[in-house]
Amino acid sequence: MSEARHATPQRDQAESGLPWPVLSIDVETNPTHGNRIFLLGAVRSDDGRAVTLAPRRGTGSDFHRTLDDLARGARFLVGHNLRRHDLPALQAQCSGLELTSLPVLDTLELSAIAFPTNPYHRLIKGYKLLSDSRNDPLKDARITLDLLREELTALRDMHAEDPAWSALLHFLVSSDEPLNALMSHARRTSAPKAANVQETARARFGTLCCTTSLDRLLRDNPGGESSTNLALAYALGWIRVAGGNSVLPIWVHESIGEVRSHVAMLREQACGQSSCAYCERQHNPERQLEAFFQKPSFRSVPAAPDGTSLQRAIVVAGLNRQSLLAVLPTGGGKSICYQLPALVHYWRSGQLTVIVSPLQSLMKDQVDNLLAAGVTCAVTINGLLTPLERRAALDKIRLGDAGIVLVSPEQFRSRTFTDALRMREIATWVFDEAHCLSKWGHDFRTDYLYVSRFIRENLWARPAPVACFTATAKPDVIEDLCGHFSDSLGLQLKQFLGGHERANLSYRVVEARKAEKAQRIAELIQHELRDGGAAVVFCATRKAAAHYAEVLAAAKLPCE
């Protein structure tokens, strides 16, 4: 049995703007009851007939008859997230429906092709993720038709602006009947032949990806296998607009696993051929350092065991996605060791680097320094943000505008933050001031330990490397850090130990009894600063700091 609103299908104002009749459906399901459908809306694009049905267990013949009558003559079945959600629920609960045999056109899938520049933005502004009413599947079915019209318009505009890509895209999706029909309509011609594709692809993407790998992908699939070429269509569609402010939706990577491997092959793996302009430029660490930070070379000190730059070695390990532990002295260029790989990964694959940092002042300094270098894709998440600032930062993470997020470890207990992370692919988990993880460190923080647990329990299905950085770490701290990530995530950290020594600093120990310490400090400062300069006195407590400030002020030394 079923309950129907408009049991006899009503003719609304005819829907138009599509070249063929389609049936758009949307279902509302209850996940707590086996994902059962409790409401269904359907609308025809050509004559406007529409129904809302409430199926009951056993779904009677009137339910099937109404839907099959509505589907008769439609060329495609259309829906938003139809292939992964609505259609499986409909097939499981309402077997035998004729409409389930129609070719499927999923507007969610099409959005990543038609709107490659940040498709998330498109879906959030009016389509499905925001709604002014609840449980109105007929309205959503109509909205899906509106979205399909806009997607078709976008494909026409894409062809007018970039006919070479439009032709290549048409070839790649030609095995999918609905997508082939859309592209044929947008281009007013049939799909190109395989013999013409390789030259077109090389000319169009020669500076955007590795042409050696692109040639191989097209050559190894000359017949146009549907799944392989569809994955390549998503990959190249994103690569065409890559470079910031755009990410492939996470569902693409989860549903079409080849997309991630295609992007990696085309953008992240150097082919080693001097004839490949992309690899010669994009896989050169010095060129990337100059491009992002306007620096001609890496620091020569501290040096790696082979005498080369340790900073460069750490950057290369980060670019190669190795898990690592780096100990670099303060002022040794530690930040660039993780910032440069983060920016390169964001540019190459749209992935997010998460930097766990203990101090809000450190986060602000890093973002300010990045802004000074012209980098605008870094955001912070900490307890000092206003609600509006926090929402803006989370939106940048979710929508792909952020390539780096600096976050305090306590935020991993926040659902809004962790939900935003789940919408992104993670390039690297960076732990700045990593000694905070160790019980032997001087600033142990238990919330640091929770981060690896969160990664393991929530995001380890999409594993990413870990990079730990600190200025000082004794052997027992190093052992503790490596043991923690081995036990919690099964990762072995490659060690880059630059030591704590600074060639431009010298040390001298002066003996002084407690009673004479204050006077001795004053005498030393007066002697050392006789020709000008400044000094810092480190104290163990605030009370001691106030005491020594009074002593130095009494000695006629300006002191705060």
CATH number at residue 10: 3.30.420.10
Q: What's the token pair of residue 195? A: 């013999």
pLDDT at 130: 43
pLDDT at 415: 93
Clarify whether residues 230 and 264 are in a common domain: yes
pLDDT at 349: 92
Domain of residue 333, CATH code: 3.40.50.300
Reply yes or no on whether the pLDDT at 325 is more than 90. yes
pLDDT band for position 253 (50/70/90)?
Answer: confident
Reply yes or no on whether the pLDDT at 4 is more than 60. no
Tell whether 107 is covered by a domain. yes
For residue 529, give its domain range: 514-554
Q: What's the token pair of residue 85? A: 């959600």
pLDDT at 218: 87
Tell whether 286 is covered by a domain. no
pLDDT at 5: 53
The residue ranking higher by pLDDT, 480 or 132, is: 480
Mean pLDDT, the chain, integer:
87
Distance CA 420, CA 393 (A): 10
Clarify whether residues 250 and 384 are in a common domain: no
For the chain, what is the domain count?
A: 4
pLDDT at 501: 67
Element (H, E) at 404: strand 404-407
Using alpha carbons, select from 18, 69, 65 the residue that is nearest to residue 46: 18
pLDDT at 11: 43
Average pLDDT over every residue of 475-488: 94
Clarify whether residues 275 and 298 are in a common domain: no
Tell whether 508 is covered by a domain. no
Tell whether 428 is covered by a domain. yes
Tell whether 464 is covered by a domain. yes
pLDDT (tens digit, 9 = 90+) per residue, 510-537? 999 988 999 999 999 999 988 888 999 9
Clarify whether residues 228 and 141 are in a common domain: no
Percent of the chain, pLDDT > 70?
A: 91
Q: What's the token pair of residue 454? A: 């969160």
Clarify whether residues 338 and 471 are in a common domain: yes
Clarify whether residues 169 and 298 are in a common domain: no
φ/ψ (deg, to 5) at 381: -130, 110
Element (H, E) at 198: helix 197-205
Clarify whether residues 342 and 480 are in a common domain: yes
pLDDT at 489: 94
Domain boundary among 235, 259, 281: 281
Clarify whether residues 233 and 250 are in a common domain: yes
Percent of the chain, pLDDT > 90?
A: 61
Clarify whether residues 329 and 197 are in a common domain: no
Distance CA 459, CA 451 (A): 11
Domain boundary among 233, 255, 281: 281
pLDDT at 32: 74
Clarify whether residues 240 and 113 are in a common domain: no
CB 130 within 8 A of CB 122: no
Tell whether 559 is covered by a domain. no
Clarify whether residues 173 and 142 are in a common domain: no
pLDDT at 132: 46
- Scan for tokens 């000190």, then name that residue: 301
Tell whether 506 is covered by a domain. no
Clarify whether residues 124 and 179 are in a common domain: no
Domain boundary among 249, 281, 313: 281
Among the residue ranges 21-30, 126-135, 410-419, the one predicted with the least confidence is: 126-135
Instruction: Give pTM, 2 decimals.
Output: 0.83
pLDDT at 1: 38
Reply yes or no on whether the pLDDT at 205 is more than 70. yes
Tell whether 502 is covered by a domain. no
Reply yes or no on whether the pLDDT at 245 is more than 80. no
Reply yes or no on whether the pLDDT at 314 is more than 50. yes
The Cβ of residue 510 has, within 10 Å, a number of other Cβ atoms equal to 8
Reply yes or no on whether the pLDDT at 13 is more than 70. no
Average pLDDT over every residue of 44-58: 83
Average pLDDT over every residue of 177-203: 91
SS (H, E, C) 23-85: EEEEEEEEHHHCCEEEEEEEEECCCCEEEEEEECCCCCHHHHHHHHHHHCCCCEEEECCHHHH
